[in-house]
Amino acid sequence: MPEIITLADIKPLIGNLSRANYYEVKFGGLTAGLRQYLSARNVDGQFIGSDAGLMCYNASLPGSSLAKVEGSNFTGVVENFAHTRIFTPIQLEFYCDNEYKVLKFLEHWQEYITSGNGNGANYSSPYYNYRAKYPNDPADGYKANSTRIMKFENDYKRVMEYSFIGMFPLDMSSTPVRYGPNSELTRISCSFAYDRFIAGSIYSFDFVQGNFNNLSGIINDLTSGNASALLRRFTN
Amino acid sequence: MSKILKYPLQRIESISDYLKINVVTYEAPGLGSSGAGGGFFQLPQGSQVNGPGATDRIIGTIFLPIPEGLSDLNRANWAGSNLNSLAGAAVNTIKDVGKDLSLDNLQKDLAGTLNAAGSTLAGAASKAIAGLDDKTRAVVSGAFVGSAVNLFGANVSLNDLTARTDGVILNPNLELLFKGVDLRDFTFSFELTPRSRAESQEIKSIINTFKRRMAPKTSISNASGGSKGIFIQSPDVFNIEFRRGGAKHPFLFSMKTCALTNIQVDYAGTGAYTTYEDSTPVKMRMSLSFRELNPIYAEDYSDDLSDGVGF
């Protein structure tokens, strides 16, 4: 027997749906070596930490899948067992500014990854060959460890945050340019690989407050007026 | 103080599963003793790894991730064995003769003892044949006929004859019998992908250590050593243990002290030769083949399963 639901019952739920156009991308966690490399090409820290994310007009919240194995211990029944979480690359699309900083940011980040042989005077030599930089070297590794995508609503009260570990630009699509209407913008598309992501904040500040990984911590206790939970937080 | 090498440099924590390999100086097993404690050789038990005091002989420790394709293989050598009724009767008869042919009897009276043995043999054979029914006796006599015919190069077996004449063969009493113990082999493969310069150095040291420690030594350092060049000394051996955090792995198998018999490193793990800035390959694959020094016995196992499945 289905449950009888009135419009009034579902209004709080259906009337508060999330809007896709409220989100923020923030690049972060680039190593000193990588920042220096980009800075020398006029892509400064302010641009990386703030503007590059704002220029991202089309993002997607990351997805993942689970690898599984099948078991057939019971005749005619196939059981599924999950064992490994697989993180798929994320696609981000950017408007290009007229200083081409977005283009330089992505282009030279990729270039940096294969700049193990340096890129001095011999860079344009026909005999130049590529070697990779180390990915996780603390000083000059090419992976970034705290890039975030935040999904929120127009009241800014609730945030769904994704933090990426070991991110780097994997596949930068060729950027189309052509004669056409004057209003047509240059758009850049790039997919980013990463080791894994974490749903929810991973900042130590949030960890202390119990708000990391989407846990309902001290702030939720305060805003919801849950005094007993708040008291437990300080007495336990 | 022994040296510690670790790959990956990070991510070995209290919740991590990993492989711990202690490099240990080899100690020759010796010839054992025939004292009151037991047989000539003492069977090494699980806790005795390549002789007592092995922990004092640890040269270094290598921490590696759990290898790919993890499996163990325990073997027991069993093989089919035949003993037909005639051969069984002969065994019993010869055992009786053997009692007569003791060293004491032979020393006292050589001729008498041999005569007595001959009489026992003849008596036992007559008794055995007399106990057979007519049909069986006819078959047995056929055996002697076959032996006589073979003198002329016929190459006829007893079973050939009985099969031809009576359509029967001797029951071989085939049974699977235990034939001996075997040593276990393990092959472990590791993907090595250096993430930093420090990790690259660590990988280089790990490969170097395995190669060096599996190699025999020309400089004899122990007391039994002689002039350099006459002997070569056994390589070092390895105590291998799966672990979770600070304790033994609660599920995986245990191993006795092993010798490293093979090491293979593929330096082009990406499919092509690709390197980092200091020429360290981007991906390597190291394959180690170990063989245990001692077989596994039932006494090596305990009822406590907290240490995993056992050997």
Residue B20 β-bridge partners: B63, B241
SS3 (DSSP) at A41: coil
Does residue B194 belong to the interface with chain A, where contact is any CB pair within 8 Å?
Answer: yes
Distance between CA atoms of residues A94 and A187, nearest Å: 6
Q: Pick the residue with more confidence: B222 or A203?
A: A203
Distance between CA atoms of residues A164 and A30, nearest Å: 12
Rounded to the nearest angstrom, the minimum Cα separation between A115 and chain B is 8
The first and second tokens of residue A110, run together, are 């990729």
Backbone phi, psi, residue A160, to 5°:
-110, 115
Q: Is A136–B275 a contact, with Cβ atoms under 8 angstroms apart?
A: no
Residue A33 near residue A139 (C-beta atoms within 8 A): yes
Model confidence, pTM: 0.83
Rounded to the nearest angstrom, the minimum Cα separation between A111 and chain B is 14
Distance between CA atoms of residues A140 and A35, nearest Å: 9
Residue to substitute from A111, A113, A117, A131, interface B, most B β-carbons within 10 A: A131
- Going by their DSSP bridges, the two strands B58-65 and B3-6 should be labelled as parallel
Say whether pLDDT at A104 is over 80.
Answer: yes
* A127: Cα separation from own chain's centroid: 37
Residue A175 near residue A96 (C-beta atoms within 8 A): yes
**Residues 138-157, chain A, touching B (beta carbon < 8 A):** 138, 141
Distance between CA atoms of residues B238 and B213, nearest Å: 9
Per-residue confidence band for B226, with pLDDT thresholds at 50, 70 and 90: low
- Residue A56: which H helix or E strand, with range? strand A56-58
Render pLDDT for B249-289 as a digit per residue (tens, 0 to 9). Answer: 999 999 999 999 999 999 999 999 999 999 999 999 999 99
**Residues 55-114, chain A, touching B (beta carbon < 8 A):** none
Rounded to the nearest angstrom, the minimum Cα separation between A33 and chain B is 13
Distance between CA atoms of residues B285 and B191, nearest Å: 5
Beta strands in A75-167 (DSSP E): 77-87, 90-95, 147-152, 159-165
Neighbours of A178 (CB within 10 A): 5
* B278: Cα separation from own chain's centroid: 44
Q: Which residues from A are below 8 Å from B277, CB to CB? A: 116-117, 131-134
Residue B185 β-bridge partners: B291
Please report, as a single letter, which amino acid is at residue A201.
S
Residue-averaged pLDDT of chain B = 84
Residue to substitute from A37, A119, A133, A136, interface B, most B β-carbons within 10 A: A136
Does residue B195 belong to the interface with chain A, where contact is any CB pair within 8 Å?
Answer: yes
* B253: Cα separation from own chain's centroid: 17
- Partner-chain residue, chosen from A117, A136, A138, that has the shortest CB–CB distance to B277: A117
Render pLDDT for B50-105 as a digit per residue (tens, 0 to 9). Answer: 554 556 689 999 999 999 989 999 999 999 999 988 778 778 777 777 776 777 77
Distance between CA atoms of residues A202 and A213, nearest Å: 7
Q: Is the dihedral of CA B300, B304, B305, B306 positive or negative?
A: negative
For the beta sheet containing A147-152, the strands, ordered from the edge strand earlier in sequence to the opposite edge, are: A23-26, A147-152, A159-165, A196-199
- Residue A52: which H helix or E strand, with range? helix A52-54
Q: Is B197–A137 a contact, with Cβ atoms under 8 angstroms apart?
A: yes
Say whether pLDDT at B35 is over 70.
Answer: no
ipTM (interface pTM) = 0.84
Q: Is B277–A134 a contact, with Cβ atoms under 8 angstroms apart?
A: yes
Residue B204 near residue B111 (C-beta atoms within 8 A): no
Burial (CB < 10 A; 0-12, 13-18, 19+), residue A229, is middle
**By percentage, how much of chain A surpasses pLDDT 90?**
66
Does residue B221 belong to the interface with chain A, where contact is any CB pair within 8 Å?
Answer: no
At residue A144, the pLDDT reads: 96
Mean pLDDT of A142-150: 94
Name which of A10-14, A186-190, A201-205 the model is least confident about.
A201-205
Distance between CA atoms of residues B187 and B305, nearest Å: 24
Q: Is A134–B282 a contact, with Cβ atoms under 8 angstroms apart?
A: no
Residue A231 near residue A218 (C-beta atoms within 8 A): no
Does residue A222 belong to the interface with chain B, where contact is any CB pair within 8 Å?
Answer: no
Q: Which residues from B are below 8 Å from A141, CB to CB? A: 195-196
Q: For residue A33, which of A172, A143, A167 has the smallest C-alpha distance?
A: A143
- Partner-chain residue, chosen from A132, A134, A138, that has the shortest CB–CB distance to B274: A132
Q: Quickly list DSSP for chain B.
A: --EEEESSSS---TT-EEEEEEEE----------STTSSSSPPPPTT--SSTTGGGGEEEEEEEEPPBS-------EEEEE---HHHHHHHHHHHHHHHHT-HHHHHH-HHHHHHHHHHHHHHHHHHHHHTS-HHHHHHHHHHHHHHHHHTTT----HHHHHHHHHS-------EEEEEE----EEEEEEEE---SHHHHHHHHHHHHHHHHHTS-BSS--STT--SBTTB-B---EEEEEEEETTEE-SSSPP---EEEEEEEEES-TTSS--BBTTS-BS-EEEEEEEEESS---GGG--S-GGG-S--
Rounded to the nearest angstrom, the minimum Cα separation between B73 and chain A is 23
At residue B48, the pLDDT reads: 47
Of chain B, the end-to-end C-alpha distance in Å amounts to: 29
- Partner-chain residue, chosen from A116, A117, A135, that has the shortest CB–CB distance to B195: A135
**By percentage, how much of chain B surpasses pLDDT 70?**
84
Per-residue confidence band for B113, with pLDDT thresholds at 50, 70 and 90: confident
**Alpha-carbon distance values, B232 to B33, B202, B209, B214 (Å):** 26, 29, 19, 13
At residue B6, the pLDDT reads: 94
Q: Which residues from B are below 8 Å from A131, CB to CB? A: 274-277, 279
The first and second tokens of residue B148, run together, are 């006589």
Q: Is B277–A131 a contact, with Cβ atoms under 8 angstroms apart?
A: yes
Q: Is B195–A134 a contact, with Cβ atoms under 8 angstroms apart?
A: yes
Q: Is A137–B275 a contact, with Cβ atoms under 8 angstroms apart?
A: no
Q: Is A133–B276 a contact, with Cβ atoms under 8 angstroms apart?
A: yes
Render pLDDT for A74-89 as a digit per residue (tens, 0 to 9). Answer: 999 999 999 999 999 9
Residue B83 near residue B75 (C-beta atoms within 8 A): no
Q: Pick the residue with more confidence: A128 or B125?
A: A128
Shortest CA distance from A116: residue in chain B: B277
Does residue B70 belong to the interface with chain A, where contact is any CB pair within 8 Å?
Answer: no
Rounded to the nearest angstrom, the minimum Cα separation between B260 and chain A is 31
Residue to substitute from A137, A140, A165, interface B, most B β-carbons within 10 A: A137
Distance between CA atoms of residues B87 and A126, nearest Å: 85
